[in-house]
Structure 1
Amino acid sequence: MKRPLYSLLLSLLVSPSVFASSFSLPIWKEKAEALGYELPKPIGFNISYMSMEQGISVDSIMLKGLDIPGLALDAQDGTQKTEVVSFRADVWLFPFLNVYALFGILEGYSQTDVDASLTMNIPPLFPGGKPHEYTVNGTINDFRLDLDGYTKGVGFVLAGGYGNWFGLVDASYTQSDLTIIDGQIDAIVVSPRVGYDFNTHDVPLRVWVGAMYQDVEQHLSGSVADLGLPPGLAGIVPSDARFEVTQHLTTPWNPLVGMQYQINKDWYLLGEAGFGDRQSIFFSIDRRF
């Protein structure tokens, strides 16, 4: 008697290892094991947390709906802090190639000081006199944009090794859709790593050093009223006034150091830290099938 289709789908969801063994993932598994490589189980799910702080540079900042002739804004370099909790699913298609997709929740903000200048033309006091130009300068301290939203993305890992040494390159593309303000954050991240595997010494531990490259484009906009203006200023700003900000990261590269501890054949713990102008902490727990 044939099993119903829904019964087969349910068994695959409950036990992904059935799917993996049916298709003998990863491809060329037997050849890799014949050469002495010990491969992880092909399908994995993990939950991770990352906290990151880095510098930003504002390319442009504009206000719309505010009819203030002579007003000029110039943002200084600032700081961006983010926290991301994400869920990731991955599969080893080949012994050297892993592909994954992720979805996460983003919380954070970017903050900078904005230099403002207002140039006014004062008409002549007497007939035949010359008009005067008068400029008032000031600074808007702690101009802050909340970056809460949802992030999704895809990526791949290329890996190889010789003896106890291994190397890998992790590349991903993510897009974050913001909720408090309008806009999105597009990020390309590439992280090469080189490490040592202590499993052959009866220690279920892998350690590595590496670097992280980030190419991030941020286009943000929203209502000026949502910026938390002081009460005196909020009362005179039109309700339809809007801001538009374009900014990028000041430092594309930073060093990394990390480790992975294998609890057993199914569970792994991973931790990684970033240093330099971009500081980060990353933790994840991985379940493999």
Structure 2
Amino acid sequence: MKWSARLVFFFMLIITQVVVVKALAQQATQKYYNAKNQHYYSKKHQAYYDSLMKMNYDRVFPILGDKVYKKGFDIPFPIGVMINNFWGNQDMALSNLKIGVRTPDTTLGPADMSEVIVFSKVNAKVYNINTRVDVWVLPFLNVYGLLAYLPYASTEVNLAEPVELSSKPEQSGWTWGLGLMGAGGLGPVWIQADYNFTWSDMQLLTNKVFTQILGFRVGHVIKSKVDPQKNFSIWVGAMGIFLNNETKGEVSLSEALPDVPQEKIDEIKQSYSSWYEKLSPTGKKVADEIVQRLQDRLDGRPKGETYILYEMDKAPKSKWAGVIGAQYQFNKRWQLRAESNCIGKDRFSVLLSINYRFLGFKKR
């Protein structure tokens, strides 16, 4: 049923943001190369790292940045702006479903329908564009804000009971939030942990969706032999999505069920005996009103716009999924990266992004 599908899509925007690749930590593992590896690197590398250790770092962020450079570490420029393009899909689980109806004359419900309505599969697909601005406050701590726009989100809902129905609604919306990331090096790898929280405002939801994302990644930096600022990074990890379960909203009957033929209406009426008595008195009135409004519309005698009211709990079918990713760094200002949620079941996503970094304000 289309109205229920609308509620599910939002999960993906999180992966958007969500799902933003956090490989900014990679350069934190690039310690000054030791003497036994000097034959591998060019004289340009030696001059570059020597200059880092000798320079007078005069920028506000990261705090303690001058001490880190003097110890032979090459860290990212402190401020970054990232533009991300994201596509993904996720299977969802719905429960505790309540349905109501609002007409020009009356409002009924919402009434509990969880004993009657059974979904066989709910899958949401989304494309979003998001921007993230971040600051390395400390060499190991990054703080960021993000803003995402979803120009396209569709959800395919397959209803198994009381009758088989399928729908694929579409809508758009906005998401914004904040996050923290901790990162550091351990031998030949870098390790990163990320937490962010967001709010989403979507067309068909009366409440904003609060979501929390937790991610862990472990990666390795492959340095260029020619240019000390160029490198290629790869990583693996896991990401979990946790959101407030309760969803409330309404959608017009014409949007939720736009093309219901007479055969399907007759099937609903004929199936009454198998589920109708399970409903509360209010639930029976809601079901009767919806079926009657569908019949009136089909007969060419609509009685004003009818709205389906809904309340439900929803969650990703699998909260955790594995990720793989890679990044090419052209220099310390420009990086190009990709990441995918493709390890595990019930979720798949692809993220492509470009990142620009700069030094920021000088100390007074």
TM-score by length of 1: 0.77
Counterparts of 1:132-147 in structure 2, within 5 Å, are 138-142=163-167, 144-147=168-171
Counterparts of 1:117-156 in structure 2, within 5 Å, are 117=162, 138-142=163-167, 144-156=168-180
Q: Is the 8 A contact 1:146 1:181 kept in 2?
A: no
Deviation at 1:216, TM superposition (A): 2.7
Q: Indicate how the Cα distance of structure 1 residues 237 and 54 shifts in structure 2: closer, same or farther if over 3 A, else same.
A: farther
Aligned pair 1:30/2:66, yes or no? yes
**In 2: Cα distance, 1:70 partner to 1:39 partner:** 56
Q: Is the 8 A contact 1:274 1:281 kept in 2?
A: yes
Deviation at 1:167, TM superposition (A): 0.4
Aligned pair 1:229/2:254, yes or no? no
Q: Indicate how the Cα distance of structure 1 residues 229 and 95 shifts in structure 2: closer, same or farther if over 3 A, else same.
A: same
Q: Secondary structure at the match of 1:65?
A: strand
Aligned pair 1:49/2:85, yes or no? yes
Deviation at 1:243, TM superposition (A): 2.8
Counterparts of 1:61-100 in structure 2, within 5 Å, are 61-65=97-101, 72-100=116-144
Partner amino acid, structure 1, of 2:232: L
Q: Secondary structure at the match of 2:164?
A: strand
**In 2: Cα distance, 1:185 partner to 1:145 partner:** 19
Q: Is the 8 A contact 2:65 2:139 kept in 1?
A: yes
Deviation at 1:201, TM superposition (A): 5.0
| Aligned position for 1:288 | 357
Q: Secondary structure at the match of 1:25?
A: coil
Deviation at 1:40, TM superposition (A): 0.8
Greater helix fraction, Structure 1 or Structure 2: 2
> What RMSD over aligned residues (CA atoms) do the two structures have, in Å?
2.6
Deviation at 1:246, TM superposition (A): 3.0
Q: Indicate how the Cα distance of structure 1 residues 256 and 283 shifts in structure 2: closer, same or farther if over 3 A, else same.
A: same
**In 2: Cα distance, 1:191 partner to 1:223 partner:** 34
Q: Is the 8 A contact 1:58 1:77 kept in 2?
A: no
| Aligned position for 2:277 | none
Instruction: Report the count of equivalent residues.
Output: 248
**In 2: Cα distance, 1:86 partner to 1:227 partner:** 29
| Aligned position for 1:251 | 318
**In 1: Cα distance, 2:352 partner to 2:179 partner:** 18
Q: With a CA cutoff of 8 Å and minimum separation of 6, indicate the structure with the bigger relative contact order.
A: 2
Q: Indicate how the Cα distance of structure 1 residues 33 and 185 shifts in structure 2: closer, same or farther if over 3 A, else same.
A: same
Q: Indicate how the Cα distance of structure 1 residues 215 and 145 shifts in structure 2: closer, same or farther if over 3 A, else same.
A: farther
Counterparts of 1:159-178 in structure 2, within 5 Å, are 159-178=183-202
Q: Indicate how the Cα distance of structure 1 residues 169 and 39 shifts in structure 2: closer, same or farther if over 3 A, else same.
A: same
**In 1: Cα distance, 2:155 partner to 2:60 partner:** 46
**In 1: Cα distance, 2:72 partner to 2:94 partner:** 51
| Aligned position for 1:204 | 231
Partner deviation per Cα, 1:10-45 (whole Å, 9 max, x = no partner): xxxxxxxxxxx8652100112212222111110111
Unaligned runs of 5+ residues in structure 1 are: 1-20, 118-137
Q: Is the 8 A contact 2:216 2:237 kept in 1?
A: yes
Greater strand fraction, Structure 1 or Structure 2: 1
**In 1: Cα distance, 2:320 partner to 2:101 partner:** 38
Partner amino acid, structure 1, of 2:208: Q
Aligned pair 1:195/2:194, yes or no? no
| Aligned position for 2:154 | 109
